[in-house]
Chain A
Amino acid sequence: AQRVTQPEKLLSVFKGAPVELKCNYSYSGSPELFWYVQYSRQRLQLLLRHISRESIKGFTADLNKGETSFHLKKPFAQEEDSAMYYCAPNFGNEKLTFGTGTRLTIIP
């Protein structure tokens, strides 16, 4: 069955420390993977997609097909990174499947 898992509901990190938000998936094919973010009092919005291999706001995410993971990473956390983060794969049916989300809190 196709499934996406974000194992951490809550994650607290000190400012300046590295951040890693985990995303694992179950799928026999090659998914397209996205990270969406919702900052406080803002709308859900796209952060980055794996196909672009881009760094957005210092965040990167690498698709690891062997481990079926797409973890989101940032080397030095900033206070403005506090938000709700959703991993959202497309399992080949053109639709996004959203994970349950991780609430990231950056401690000053």
Chain B
Amino acid sequence: NAGVTQTPKFRILKIGQSMTLQCTQDMNHNYMYWYRQDPGMGLKLIYYSVGAGITDKGEVPNGYNVSRSTTEDFPLRLELAAPSQTSVYFCASEPHGAKNIQYFGAGTRLSVL
């Protein structure tokens, strides 16, 4: 049982490049989340999804896009990378009926130079 899997673990981007952070879960959870964590800060919610085909903005969505075509996958897209997007990104999933009990991936450390 893999749980929540994030790829890649590390990535360095140049300003203006684009990339997709992958997140997949094998627990059949309805809810999925993307957070970013800057040094010394708490996790900030970027986007979330309550099920396939449904996504919504969190606290800090600017510069990001998401899609949820299947229950398992919730990729996060950066279109024009900026230094302000240097951060650690966490994906999490949550089963229906277990509010706020979230299962996290290992994280993706992204640097934009």
- 1/0 contact string of A27-70 vs chain B (CB within 8 Å): 00000101010000001111001000000000000000000000
Chain A residues whose C-beta falls within 8 Å of the C-beta of B101 in the assembled complex: 46, 49
Chain B residues whose C-beta falls within 8 Å of the C-beta of A95 in the assembled complex: 45, 48, 58
Chain A residue with Cβ nearest B45: A95
* A49, B100: Cα distance in complex, Å: 9
- Of B35-43, B60-68, B72-80, which binds chain A? B35-43
Q: Are A98 and B99 in contact, CB atoms less than 8 angstroms apart?
A: no
In chain B between 70 and 110, which residues have their CB closer than 8 angstroms to a CB of chain A? 90, 92, 99-107
Contact with A90, one of B4, B42, B99, B104 (Cβ below 8 angstroms): B99
Residues of B within 8 A of A (CB): 4, 35, 40-45, 48, 58, 90, 92, 99-107
Using A95-B58, A96-B45, A97-B42 as known contacts, list a sample of 17 further A-B pairs with CB atoms less than 8 Å apart, ordered by residue number in A: A9-B40, A32-B100, A34-B100, A43-B4, A43-B104, A43-B105, A45-B103, A46-B102, A49-B100, A86-B43, A90-B99, A90-B100, A95-B48, A96-B102, A98-B35, A98-B42, A98-B44
Residues of A within 8 A of B (CB): 4, 9, 32, 34, 36, 43-46, 49, 86, 88, 90, 94-101
